[in-house]
Structure 1
Amino acid sequence: MTDPTTTAGDSPFADLIAANQAFADDFTLGGFDGVAKAGVAIVTCMDSRIDPLGMLGLKPGDAKIFRNPGGRVTAAALEALVLGVHLLNVNRVLVIPHTRCAMTSSTEVELRQKVGESAGQDASWQGFHVVTDQLGSLRQDVSAVRSHPLIAERASVGGFVYDVDTGLISQHY
């Protein structure tokens, strides 16, 4: 826990707080109503090489974005999509994992071991959504969204893969 008497200059977040101040000085996004102006929801990976809005020619306010390791359609992602479809103007859903994803390059056991070594404690209890077959997982994820009773006929759903080396997406489902 951080000492509340720490000054901003001493904070490990000082650079980000300063950047936020500069961002706020020119802030023009206020007043948005929170709906997806382009009717788009994106489920993608948390990988920092991915710019979900930029890769689709969208801008802030156009889409709802849900990110997690591997870009999987988890229970939390489905919850977000249901809310997006019914309350936030979403009528198109893109599920977009990416090439060279860390979640495709290790097994569950290997990730638990790596995290445990880094943490200096047992991590065998921690679950990860490891992807052993990226296109097979994408097919399952798209199917989960398309067949969800609260989404099914209310939104078009597509499965894509983002190439982190070219910036291109390719549709698979």
Structure 2
Amino acid sequence: MTAIDELLERNAALVDRTRGDRSSASPSLHIAVLTCMDARIRVFELFGLQQGEAHVLRNGGGVVTDDVIRSLALSQRKLGTREIMVVQHTSCGLSMTTDDEFKDELEADTGLRPTWAVEAFREVKDSVRTSMARLRHSVFLPYTDNIRGFVYDVHNGALHEVLSPGQG
């Protein structure tokens, strides 16, 4: 059985016993959480979130890209979110390569060099600060006063806030 088949079986079992209103796309807490796709980050468990409370965006590294800005612009302008959490983590794969290394690897394998940025980083706190700055400076996001960044420690579950320059 493939992983897709397994997920389809789980969905079939879930449909009959799942409760809750699935009619609203707007999150009840009016918050969006951007985090990494790393399977060790259990976003709903980490924050005690219930379905329907937050928009959760995930990508490699939990970094702000044009597509993240697009999704957050929709989230804020059409679906009512007003706060953003950026949650990156320790031992991230993006901290173990460079943009050029990964692009070289892809080019060697495919014959094509990607035009997109990998967004690799060495220091996770700096990456969180960069992501927060990109969000705050985006003309497409009307609500940038309550953007906060964090580093999640995958070894002990602790969450550490990352302050922007000039903050507290």
Where on the TM-score scale, by shorter chain, does this alignment land: which range? Answer: 0.7 to 0.9
Q: CA deviation at 1:116?
A: 6.2
Q: CA deviation at 1:13?
A: 2.7
Alpha-carbon RMSD across the aligned residues, in angstroms, is 2.3
For normalisation by structure 1, the TM-score amounts to 0.81
Correspondence for 1:62 among 53, 56, 80: 53
- CA 1:163–1:147 in 2, change beyond 3 Å: closer, same or farther? same
Gaps of 5+ in 1: 1-8
Equivalent runs, 1:18-97 vs 2, <5 Å:
18-97=9-88
Q: CA deviation at 1:154?
A: 5.4
Secondary structure (helix, strand or coil) at the match of 2:151 reads: strand
Gaps of 5+ in 2: 164-168
2:49 maps to amino acid:
L
- In the alignment, which residue of structure 2 is the partner of 1:133? 123
Give the conservation status (yes or no) of the 8 Å contact 2:106–2:112. yes
1:141 maps to amino acid:
S
Bigger radius of gyration among the two: 1
Aligned equivalents of 1:73, 1:125: Cα separation in 2: 18
Number of aligned positions between the proteins? 162
Q: CA deviation at 1:73?
A: 0.8
Q: Deviations over 1:139-170 (max 9, x none)?
A: 12101212223435555100111111112211
For normalisation by structure 2, the TM-score amounts to 0.83
Correspondence for 2:110 among 114, 121, 127: 121
Q: CA deviation at 1:16?
A: 1.8
Instruction: Note if 1:147 corresponds to 2:137.
Output: yes
- In the alignment, which residue of structure 1 is the partner of 2:166? none
Give the conservation status (yes or no) of the 8 Å contact 1:71–1:96. yes
